[in-house]
Structure formats: C-alpha cells, structure tokens
Structure 1
Amino acid sequence: MEAFTRAFPLEDIHVRAGGDGRTVEAYAAVFDTPTVIRDQDGNYTEVIDRRAFERTLNQLAPAGSRSTWRVGVLYNHGRTLFGTPSERGAMPIGAPVEIKADSRGLLTVTRYNKTELADEVLENIREGSITAQSFSGGFLRSDPGRPPRGGWRPDASGKLRTVRRQEIALREYGPTPFPAYVDAAVIGVRAEQVMPLLSELSPDEREKLADMLRTGTPLDPPAQGTPAAPPAAGDPDPGPAAEDPPSPGHSARQKIAWAKVRAEIKARRAL
C-alpha cells in the first residue's frame, strides 16, 4: 500500500472553555469536496467519500484492554521543510483523544504533550503561523481503482479526471505548514485561563468579547463620523484590535474585564 499525504488549511482558531490550552480540535479531512491534486497518481480532482474512514477508525480506536488510539500525532509527518527525515520531528507531539467522522469531515481532538516542540507548535497555531492540518495513510479503495501508466492527466479539453477515495487507512496526522485543501478547519484551542477574564461579563457581553478575540475585530464599530485614521507610512504598527481601548459606551464592568484581557495579552506577549 503506497503512502499518501493530504494537508488542510486551519481556520476559525479560537479559545474555548473547559481545558488548559493543550487540547486542539481540527479537521484532518473534508468530505465530498472536489480538490485538485498533483501527486504520484498524477494530476486529477479528488473527492473523499464520507465513509472512507469507517473501517480504519474501528481498527484504530481504543478497544478491550487498549486505552489509546493506534494513530500517531506528528508535526509535518516527522520531516523537515525539505521533506527529509527529522529526528526531533519524529517525536510525537500529542495523543488522540477522539477521532470521528461527522457531516463535514474527519474531526480530530488531540491532547498536546508538555514538550518543547509541542509548546512551539501550540503557540504557532494560536498565532496563526501554522496554517494546515495534515494526515498520511494509504488509499485502499478508489473509483476509478488504479491510475493509468504515467498517472491521471487532463484530457484534450483540459478537464481533470475525478477520483473518489472510498476507503482510507489512517496512519498519522498533525499540523503542517503546507496546506492543500481549503475547507478543513481548526475548531478550537481550549483554554480555561481565559474564563476568569470573561466571568465578569454578561452572557451577551462574553460572547461578543469571545468573538472579538477570535477574529481580531474591535468590540464596537467606530462611532459614525469618527472613523479611525490609518497609520501614516513609517509609523509603528499599532498592533491588533485587541489592544484598542473600549469605547465610552461600554459598561464599567466590561471596561474592568477588558483591562484584564488586555493585561493578559501583554503578559503573554512579554513571555
């Protein structure tokens, strides 16, 4: 069985309650999404069937006396940016908590280890520097079954052949700097440290602030007639909107909580 790799961009990264900041949720594959692929099978359009991982998940899931998943979690498949083996990268950065197929794709929930490499990867995910989730394994069943000699190629009109991956054997997954698909997403990095900062807000205020933290947008739009002036050429970058003070319309309670959030952001940046 020849090994294949697929990578998916990370989107929608946000802090979630109920953890310690070391559990990451992300899709490793998306279903029924035509994607142009260029690999050892040629140049073609690939579609992953929503039942493609059913058998492999049953085989790899904890069962009987085995309490762990038989799936590795590696950064960039344990390789360097040049594709050569990496001794440091070959060390696991985490362990699967849950892997399941839902209506969108293959969702992975991973508990990251307390190691230097795992800490670096987590920080890069939080900051948006790492942009993809990837998996490797083998295609056990596809339609059509085998590529022609030389691989699939566009026809005379330039149209690509569509290949549906019907059964996939999962070997390992993890973050990678090289995205290929456009619809997979990191769902969240759970972090209970943020909860004390949000606990002083009402439910509506808390949701509004959490959305701001996820997207980097200000809590309120600028007042009409007083748009924020863009920085002049050569001026230092004022930083993300998370550094901006709240508008006068915010409640005193929200201002206090906002000040705590801002202090927490500055403290993290100073580390």
Structure 2
Amino acid sequence: MDKKEIRFLPVESIEFRSSGDDGSTANTISGYVVKFNQRSQLIWGEFYEKVAKGAFARSLSENVIKALWNHRSDFVLGSTKNQTLRLWEDNIGLRFECDLPNNTWGRDASESIQRGDVDGVSFGFSVRQDAFTYLKEEDVYERTLIDIDLREVSPTPFPAYPDSEVSQRSIEQMGIKTKEQRKLEKEKLLLEIDLLAIG
C-alpha cells in the first residue's frame, strides 16, 4: 500500500454555524476540502498537482472517513460511519460538513475556527491512480490525482502544500526526473553531440 500523503489547499473560509432547538448548541463546520482541477503551489520545486473530478468517488462509497483535528487521530471531530462527517463531490470539488463533538477538542476547534485562527482544510490519502505530464515551457511536471484513497480530512492552521509532505516517497519513486537530472541529461547529450561533431 502506498504511504499516506497529506495535502492542504487554502479555502476562502471554513463556514461555521451553530444551532440547537433543545437549548444545546450543535456546532457545524463546512466548506471545500479541495476544488477540482485547480493547480497547487509548486511541490519540492518539481511538480504542480491537481485533483480530477471524480477522484474521491470510490472512497466516498467504500471508506469510513474521519475528520481529525490537525491530522491527529486522538482528536476525532467526526466520522462518515455515524454521519457526523458528511462528504460529497459536486461540480466544484469535495465538500464537507462536520458536526463538532461537545468535548474539549470539539469546543477548542469551534473556538479556533470561529476566531479565524484555523482557516484551512487538508486531507490525508494514498494514491490509487495518478498521471504526470511534463510541462516543457515551465520545466516542471503536473501531477493529476485521478483516484484517491481518502482516509481523513482535517481543519488545520498550517499548509502542507508549500513544504509538501509527499509521504516520504522520493521524486524518483514517483517516476519523474528532477530538474537537476534533466539538466545533467541535457548536458550529457550536448557533450555527445559535440564529440560526434569533432570525431
């Protein structure tokens, strides 16, 4: 099984609403986990990434997915198993709603999100299918995530995209060449051409 990868995509904001007809307060957060076909920031200086429409379909029908507080499995905010976390794909992307628990970390999450201290969403996944395209004019690759094994979504304050946690998989394991490797190959080819011209 592929190692878990974590991605953060900035969202306009996490929506927050509070309700409770019985005098209690039920806090629900919602927003987009990711929007389809929008390019990420440059990861490792080597590739951009985007998520194809339908990439989550299999996970949504097969997986129990958790909402975690900042990717911490000891702070569960919701689950698709009992519908405290609801996920669906629309024409824009993967949307979520999560009813926060009435416990310490649920109240802490509620406060941090309402204040705007936490305003991002990220997701933990492994890749079932992806595709790389080399963009010659930019000298980088573009990775399209086609089928994602989604495991969790997380409200989080810090982006994973700028620093990229591409799971500890190396660029080579992903099947692409680094800019340095491409530069060396080009230099080697030019040297071989020069040697042929001399000889």
Shorter-normalised TM range: 0.5 to 0.7
Shift of the 75–97 alpha-carbon distance from structure 1 to 2, 3 Å rule, reads closer
SS at match of 2:41: strand
The reply to whether residue 128 of structure 1 matches residue 116 of structure 2 is: yes
Q: Does structure 1 conserve the Cα–Cα contact (< 8 Å) formed by 2:36 and 2:93?
A: yes
Query: Alignment partner for residue 29 of structure 1, among 25, 29, 34?
Result: 34
- What TM-score comes out, normalization by structure 1 length? 0.50
Shift of 1:130: 0.5
Shift of 1:15: 5.2
Unpaired runs of 5+ residues, structure 1, are 61-69, 79-88, 146-151, 182-271
Tell me which protein shows more strand as a share of its residues.
2
Percent identity, please: 25
Which residue number in structure 2 is paired with residue 6 of structure 1? 7
Query: Alignment partner for residue 112 of structure 1, among 89, 100, 104?
Result: 100
The reply to whether residue 140 of structure 1 matches residue 128 of structure 2 is: yes
Q: 1 CA distance for matches of 2:96 and 2:8?
A: 14
Moved over 6 A (4+): none
Q: Does structure 1 conserve the Cα–Cα contact (< 8 Å) formed by 2:125 and 2:151?
A: yes
Q: 2 CA distance for matches of 1:171 and 1:56?
A: 8
Q: Does structure 1 conserve the Cα–Cα contact (< 8 Å) formed by 2:11 and 2:121?
A: yes
Alignment of 1:176-187 (within 5 A): 176-179=156-159
SS at match of 1:166: strand
Deviations 1:46-90 (A, max 9, x none): 110011001111102xxxxxxxxx112211111xxxxxxxxxx62
Shift of 1:10: 3.8
Q: Does structure 2 conserve the Cα–Cα contact (< 8 Å) formed by 1:93 and 1:115?
A: no
SS at match of 1:36: coil
Which residue number in structure 2 is paired with residue 100 of structure 1? 88
The reply to whether residue 53 of structure 1 matches residue 56 of structure 2 is: yes
Shift of 1:112: 0.8
Query: Alignment partner for residue 77 of structure 1, among 71, 90, 101?
Result: 71
SS at match of 1:2: coil
When the two chains are superposed, the root-mean-square deviation of aligned CA atoms in Å is: 2.5
Shift of 1:163: 1.1
Shift of the 165–136 alpha-carbon distance from structure 1 to 2, 3 Å rule, reads same
SS at match of 1:140: strand
Shift of the 3–37 alpha-carbon distance from structure 1 to 2, 3 Å rule, reads farther
Deviations 1:84-107 (A, max 9, x none): xxxxx6231233432100111101
Q: 1 CA distance for matches of 2:32 and 2:145?
A: 17
Q: 2 CA distance for matches of 1:131 and 1:49?
A: 24
Q: Does structure 1 conserve the Cα–Cα contact (< 8 Å) formed by 2:17 and 2:29?
A: no
Deviations 1:163-209 (A, max 9, x none): 1110000101111111357xxxxxxxxxxxxxxxxxxxxxxxxxxxx
Shift of the 74–13 alpha-carbon distance from structure 1 to 2, 3 Å rule, reads closer
Which residue number in structure 1 is paired with residue 146 of structure 2? 166
Shift of the 14–26 alpha-carbon distance from structure 1 to 2, 3 Å rule, reads closer
Q: 2 CA distance for matches of 1:127 and 1:179?
A: 18
Unpaired runs of 5+ residues, structure 2, are 162-199
Letter in 2 for 1:4: E
Which residue number in structure 1 is paired with residue 178 of structure 2? none
Query: Alignment partner for residue 75 of structure 2, among 74, 91, 94?
Result: 91
Which residue number in structure 2 is paired with residue 260 of structure 1? none
Aligned length: 152
